Amino acid sequence: MKTLPVIVTTLSVILVSSTLTPSFALGEYDYLSEWGEFGIYTPGFFSYPEYIAVDEDGNSYISDLGNKRIQKFSSDGQYISHWGGYWKPKNPEIHIGWRICLIVWN
């Protein structure tokens, strides 16, 4: 019965130490590319980008929270189009947040 506290303590240390290490970020990675920069209302620029989705053709859709829009880029990072924005008509109206993008067609 004396070994039980040792086993529990050892497992606790392993559990705590494994949760403190961001294991998903460990390792060597190759730099691939980047696109966009900080900017307001300019196509291809971002103000607080949050989420990204990729379609079957390799196009990227990035939710741009600060500019209240979704931007679409080609697989090589070229700007294609966007939906929403501060000064655009409210059709469609873009609601971005909490990992959900809701597009409301009026």
Q: For residue range 32-78, what is the model confidence (pLDDT) as tens digits? A: 777 778 888 788 888 888 888 888 898 988 888 888 888 899 998 89
Greater pLDDT, 55 or 95 = 55
Please provide the average confidence, as pLDDT, over all residues in the chain: 71
**What is the per-residue pLDDT for 49?**
87
Look at residue 80 in the predicted model and tell me its pLDDT.
Answer: 94
Contacts of 61 (CB under 8 A, 6+ apart): 52, 53, 54, 55, 70, 71, 72
pLDDT in the model for residue 73: 92
Task: Give residue limits of the domains in the chain.
Answer: 49-104
Return the percentage of the chain with pLDDT > 70, whole number.
56
Q: Which residues, listed in sequence order, are joined to residue 82 by a DSSP beta bridge?
A: 71
